[in-house]
Amino acid sequence: MAVKSDIKTVATVADPRWARVQARDRSADGAFFYAVKTTGVFCRPSCAARPPKPENVIFFDTAADAEGAGFRACLRCRPSAAAGSAAVTEKMQRVAEFIRAHAHEPLPLARLAAHASLSPAHLQRTFKAVVGVSPKEFQAAERIRTFKSRLRNGDSILNATFDTGYGSTSRIYERVDGGLGMTPSAYRAGGAGETIRYAIRDTSLGLLMMAATERGVCFVQFGARPDMLVAQLTAEFPRAAIESSAAGAAAPLDHWIDALNDHLSRSGPSPALPLDLRGTAFQIKVWRFLLSVKPGMVVSYTEVAQAVGAPKAVRAAARACAANRVAILVPCHRVLRADGGLGGYRWGLDRKRALLDAERAARAQKAGA
């Protein structure tokens, strides 16, 4: 037993985290936690309690890991309290700022981990939990955001490509479907060269516009007047060729909006249409998950965050739902608050309630058939 105790003592003392516990290093709060086997309690590194014997100490990357191992939170330093979470959040925000400032450079996880004084695995897990996406995905989103900004400001495609770290123009064309939504030349010209067709119908839930590119539906919105809807679409693509698709024309868009109108007005089946979704990496993850939520079912914002691998990014998940430009087809109306309340809906809570009621009724009818 003495030999085993000595081995554990040596291992703990050799761990750099032990020195930070002995120093009650507040800057380490949130970076890791330590638990004491003899008391069954886990603490922050800065805990003011008497330091335990090193052979009784176990280190954990997160409070959740410590709790999962059966340890309870210290009542003195409250490691699970909001202050700890705030420290972690602040640290990950600093990492995010570092990525923004160096997004055009190679940023391997090891470099980011060294910058944050964390292990690569811990940084990966914590950053994703706080920010909602991995550091690699965050950098990719920052690159495409900077690239888009450079194009909007009139920079050439070649200069914007190399200055944002893509290395070649072929690399940015690989990113078209994920973040740009159109070719770089078309985006730089505010959609010039793109043809976006729209159709407007009266539905049981009000006036509805659907618009589509060659890739699929990119815009479904409710509005008070046709001109207001056209203005919204034009604001998204100021230099695109915006064309009205007259009712009865031999074009897919007319069939698509008729199918959606049938779904809303006569409880027809929800149409499965091709989509041209445009957003950040995290938004796309959220929207793709929402596409998997079946009619008549609901999820909470917390469940959405968990489903996309970012359990702490509940507010970011809610913002992604609010940023959805494709009403109904990307069913953000199926997301409720944790207490079962309707929460928000950019097209009005009455519409959200009506959509949910209709889907529940259809599901119940199908189950009873």
* pLDDT tens for each residue of 41-93: 999 898 888 888 888 999 988 777 787 788 888 878 878 664 446 677 778 88
| Catalytic center residues | 43, 332
Which residues is 32 bridged to in the sheet?
29
Q: Amino acid letter at 178?
A: G
Q: Mean pLDDT, 10 residues at a time, over the chain (369 residues)?
A: 53 84 82 88 88 89 79 81 61 86 83 89 82 78 66 50 45 43 46 78 92 86 92 81 67 83 78 80 86 89 90 86 91 88 86 89 74
- 3-class SS of residue 348: coil
Predicted pLDDT of residue 327: 93
Which among 141, 180, 276 has a CA at the least distance from the CA of 169? 180
Predicted pLDDT of residue 7: 55
Q: How far apart are CA 220 and CA 200, in angstroms?
A: 10
Predicted pLDDT of residue 153: 53
Q: How far is residue 310 from each of residues 7, 46, 133, 173, 343, measured CA to CA in Å?
A: 37, 27, 7, 28, 20
Predicted pLDDT of residue 8: 60
DSSP type of residue 271: P
**N residues, the chain:** 369
Q: Tokens in use for 282?
A: 């995290």
Predicted pLDDT of residue 171: 44
- Is-above-0.75 flag for pTM? no
**What are the strands of the beta sheet with 41-43, ordered from one edge?**
57-60, 33-36, 41-43, 72-73
Predicted pLDDT of residue 83: 42
Predicted pLDDT of residue 229: 93
Predicted pLDDT of residue 170: 40
Dihedral (CA of 275, 278, 281, 284) sign: negative
Which among 235, 239, 135 has a CA at the least distance from the CA of 182? 239
Predicted pLDDT of residue 211: 92
Cα-to-chain-centroid distance, residue 106: 23
